[in-house]
Structure 1
Amino acid sequence: MDFLSDTVVLSRMQFAVTAIFHILWPVLTTGMGIYLVIVEGLWLKTKNPDYYLHARFWSKFYVLNFGIGVATGIPMEFQFGTNWAPFSEAVGNFFGSVIGFEASWAFMLEAAFLGIMLFGWERVNPAIHFMSTILVAVGANLSTVFILIANSWMQTPAGVELVNGKFVVTDYFRALFNPFWLNSVSHMFFATLETSLFVIGGISAWYILNRRHEAFFAKSFKIVLAAAIAVAPFQIYLGHTSGEQVQHYQPSKLAAMEAQWETTPAGQPADWSVIAIPNDKAEKNDFEVTIPNALGYILEFRKELTRPVIGLKDIKSDERPHAVGLIYYAFRTMIAIGFFLAALMGLTVVQWLRGKLSTDAIADQKWLMRIWLFSAPLGYVAVESGWIVRCVGRQPWSVYGQIRTADSVSNVPASNVLTSLLGFTAVYALLLIATLYFGSRIVRKGPDLGLPIPGTEVTKPAIDTSPGEFVPDERPVEAQQ
């Protein structure tokens, strides 16, 4: 229990708890924002009221996640001042401005138009409302862009010089568009979109399984499936290109991801371990199942292997990550989920082509709907696993190769950090319970299919002219009102 008196360890644990919890909510809002744009656009184009009702129903999940995301994101940023003051002082010239852009540009854009998107259906022109939905989605995803740029700079610092312990910006655009930024932003964008698609698909499958509004939710299920056809395979490709970048810029992280202890020189293909039990102290794997030569070809996809695969033993002990088992299995969890979701998409497409997803037949596909329901939370697990690999694999650096994590923490008593850690954990647990409760209420209640559709004529009830006789009111709606 020595870690209870270690300020560095406790501060890392606190940031991990807040980050792991916070990221659950923006993952859904960024992806679902795009889905809301799609269904509202379909409504405006086709005038099919089902698409309007879908936009109204799914926006309830959006606002729930938005609210919890705001509540949990603010404390996480405050930690840069309370727990990581030396880090903030060193990187503030660049890192602070990017985080400021995320708040003043992206978050404010999303928040400014959220009210119109939620409450402006019958108050503003449909085109204005659609533009508001687009801007909400843009704001949500712009937040991802700025946050990933800031984090990518921590992974591959560029455009700066370290002068007297502080980073001085020499080329702002080089710092913004550092080597990791494009792959990181793309990979996270498709991760949030894929997670949202499978959450929407899983909830739709629940309604279909329970034979509630089967025709209505068959529509959302097919929209999700059509989008997943492009998203799921492309996400796997982006994951591969991210791995190639890690090999080039962060060989110690790649070695931990693959539990590679010995260096494989250029020209020789490294073996790939399917499963292993890494042993940090002994600098070996106590057990492993490998595929000979596979890793080299996975990384380069060609016979001429131009780069070595560096082993952990060839990296100084104080310059490499030591939670090898955690990084190794988090990486494999992310990969396994990515391929599973792509396979599920492919299987579902086959059933679609066979005519098994028609309105009349989809409720009979119980086994398929159950798999989709099971898959709903898997995207979250993959995202969390990816961030564990990304951030734990960067250790022992807060800014890779430049500033150590141990030198970035504030000089505060460990007891203070332990108190705040326990407090955050308790509050976040309550927020999680509340979110699941209100989310389940939305699901149980279901969509309100009786909502009036904007732009359509409302028929008033008959006028009661006598106790036993009803005469329809045939006057124009304007006159009735």
Structure 2
Amino acid sequence: MFGLSALELARIQFGFTVSFHIIFPAITIGLASYMAFLEALWLWKKDPVYLQLCRYWSQIFAVNFAMGVVSGLVMAYEFGTNWSYFSAKAGTVTGPLLTYEVLTAFFLEAGFLGVALFGWDKVGKGLHLFATVMVALGTLISATWILVSNSWMQTPVGYRVVDGRVIPVDWLQIVFNPSVPYRFTHMVLAAFLATALFVGATAAWHLLRGERTPAVKRMMSMAMWMILIVAPIQIEAGDQHGLNTLEHQPAKIAAIEGHWDNDEGQVPLILFGLPDMTAEKTRYQIAVPHAGSLILTHSWNGKIPALKDFPAEDRPNSTIVFWTFRVMVGLGVAMLLLGVAAAFARWRGRLYDFRPLLTFALVMGPAGLIAILAGWFTTEIGRQPWVVYGVLRTRDAVSNHSVPVLTASLLTFVVLYVCIFGTGVLYMLRLAAKPPEALSGHDHDLRPDERPARPMSAAPNLGDL
């Protein structure tokens, strides 16, 4: 298809399924913690607005959680179908890590999810809060193990290679590998920001429509506080993550910066350019001299390895990661601007009626998820041509499938994912478009014999909307 090789098609297919999947766990992580926080505030302050918001978002959470689980199952099968040599050569490390995720996080979430979603009138308030907190904790534990596995693939330690297979020799080194603290922090903060932007956009939608109820105002206020607090922390975490990547994956940083050589004696910050992998240069540069040195080395004339310092076959595709990184950073700056603008509007007493701010918040609704996707593209494409950095090349990890087979499976995934998960996302947006008063008590009038049995059942039927 389109002149692509089997390897390229396998990578595109996995990238496509991961891209669809990652948006759901990101919102799950953020919403679970948000719900726990709302419920705790309700028990503490006895303010029914917090309970109303918690019940409102729990129904949207149920839909999102179900889609996250279903979309994640596909990737587990892809390890065996499209990446069987990766499983055979490195599965001794990644397999147990994913098993730990199931044993610790998935069982914890599954054990308390039913109580959190359906147990409002069936268990005590303290027990229900405990169940909600356990679900939130489960999402964070799940993220931990997934990021441990991915971070080990980026910065592998604690292993030895025997007969072409990776054999774990020190699990503490594997679990606490050099990049995991930075990647975990960066991803969890990204999930919180993406959720805050989703919540803020929902509140802005209702405020623009004239629905200034206490629940909508509280939703807007909490979301803007979260963005204002977390956005600058995320920028600092991203800087530290970049320094860690420079230490362990310098070729990735060189590709991100479009930095080909060190002839100038310093590293400029290229704001705009078109990296050309064939000509080995970045065309049409708009650069700030010395700014790259200051950011990457914290010195005026500091240098980093350039792309020409690495063999051509070991260079990531700078043409792609140069722009995905800038999309992520640009959206991060926009998030910070939104938080500051909201703080100024709050100070002026205009947080709930200043239409330019509300429009800005509404437009920024998907920005967190787009930034997450751009960040993951930067991370994964920037690791190439390695699937386990410096240990196992991607071309040696892919299964022996033909181009027609991979083309057919990729097209099938595209059609099914757009239909199934596209419908799910539209349903979530329809739920969010309803004010909290319309949904917050929907699932609590059921008789015992009508009790929902599945997460999706916690949300209203389409006919109810």
Q: Tell me if structure 2 keeps the 8 A contact 1:275–1:288.
A: yes
- Match of 1:269, SS state, is coil
Given that 1:264 and 1:311 are in contact with CA atoms closer than 8 Å, whether structure 2 keeps it comes out as no
Equivalent residue number for residue 376 of structure 1: 365
Residue equivalent to 2:406: 417
Percent of aligned pairs with the same residue? 33
Paired position in structure 2 for 1:35: 34
Structure with bigger RCO (C-alpha 8 Å, 6+ apart): 2
Q: Deviations over 1:132-158 (max 9, x none)?
A: 100111111111111111000000000
C-alpha deviation, 1:113, in angstroms? 1.0
> Does residue 261 of the first structure (1) align with residue 255 of the second (2)?
no
Classify the secondary structure of the residue corresponding to 1:23: helix
Residue of structure 2 equivalent to 1:286: 283
Give the equivalent residue in structure 2 for 1:105.
104
Query: What's the secondary structure of 1:288's corresponding residue?
Result: strand
Equivalent runs, 1:382-461 vs 2, <5 Å: 382-448=371-437
Where 1:356 maps in the other structure, the secondary structure is coil
Query: Could you tell me whether the CA contact under 8 Å between 2:36 and 2:133 is conserved in 1?
Result: yes
1:252-280 deviation digits (Å, cap 9, x = unpaired): 10111000111369xx4311111001111
8 Å contact kept, 1:3–1:9: no
Cα distance, 1:367 vs. partner?
1.1
Q: 1:329 to 1:400 in 2, by over 3 A?
A: same
**Residue 477 of structure 1 aligns with which residue?**
none
Q: Relative to 1, partners in 2 of residues 1:151 and 1:125: Cα closer, same or farther, differing over 3 Å?
A: same
Q: In the alignment, what sits opposite 1:129? A: 128
Task: Summarize the alignment of residues 114-263 of structure 1 with structure 2, pairs less than 5 Å apart.
Answer: 114-263=113-262
Measured in 2, the distance between the counterparts of 1:399 and 1:343 equals 37
Residues 1:366 and 1:397: Cα distance change in structure 2 (over 3 Å): same
Partners of 1:398 and 1:55 in 2: how far apart? 41
Residues 450, 326 of structure 1: alpha-carbon distance in 2 compared, 3 angstrom cutoff: closer
Amino acid at match of 2:229: A
- Give 2:334's match in structure 1, choosing from 340, 362, 387: 340
Bigger mean CA deviation after superposition, 9-18 or 346-355 = 346-355
TM-score for the superposition, normalised by structure 2: 0.92
The alignment's TM-score, normalised by the length of structure 1, stands at 0.89
> Deviation at 1:439?
1.6
User: 1:275 corresponds to which residue?
Assistant: 272
Task: Report how many residues are paired.
Answer: 442
Task: Report the alpha carbon displacement of residue 228 of structure 1 after superposing the two structures with TM.
Answer: 2.2
Residue matched to 1:70: 69
**Inter-partner Cα distance in structure 2 for 1:7 and 1:114:** 40
Look up the SS of the partner of 1:448 in the other structure: helix
1:186-214 Cα deviation digits (max 9, x unpaired): 00000000000011011011001101243
Question: Contact (CA 8 Å) 1:84, 1:410: kept in 2 or not?
Answer: yes
Q: Which stretch shifts more, 293-302 or 280-289?
A: 293-302
Where do 5+ consecutive residues of structure 1 fail to align?
454-481
User: Which amino acid letter does the alignment assign opposite residue 206 of structure 2?
Assistant: Y
Looking at structure 2, the residues matched to 441 and 339 of structure 1 have their Cα atoms a distance apart, in angstroms, of 29
Q: Assess, with a 3 A threshold, how the Cα gap between structure 1 residues 352 and 445 changes in structure 2: closer, same or farther.
A: closer
CA contact (8 A) 1:264 1:310 kept: no
**2:294 pairs with one of 287, 297, 300:** 297
Letter of the 2:73 counterpart: I
**Larger-gyration structure (1/2):** 1
8 Å Cα contact 2:82-2:398 kept in structure 1 = yes
Cα distance change, pair 451–309 in 1 and its aligned pair in 2 (3 A): closer
Shift of 1:389: 0.5
Distance of 2:347 and 2:2 partners within structure 1 = 59
Q: Secondary structure at the match of 2:206?
A: helix
- Residues 201, 220 of structure 1: 8 Å contact kept: yes
Distance 1:450-1:175 versus aligned 2 partners, 3 A rule? closer
1:225-247 Cα offsets, whole Å, 9 max, x none, are 22223211000001111111111
- Is 2:364 the partner of 1:350? no
Q: Counterparts of 1:449 and 1:53 in 2: how far apart (Å)?
A: 10
Instruction: Output the amino acid matched with 1:245.
Output: N
- Aligned with 2:285: secondary structure? strand
Native 8 Å contact 1:205 1:372 kept in 2: yes
What secondary structure, in the 3-state scheme, does the structure 1 residue paired with 2:359 have?
helix
CA contact (8 A) 1:3 1:10 kept: no
2-side partners of 1:162 and 1:153: how far apart? 15
The alpha carbon displacement at 1:309 in A equals 1.1
- Computed over aligned residues only, the root mean square deviation of the Cα atoms, in angstroms, reads 1.7
2:64–2:428 CA contact under 8 A, matched in 1: no
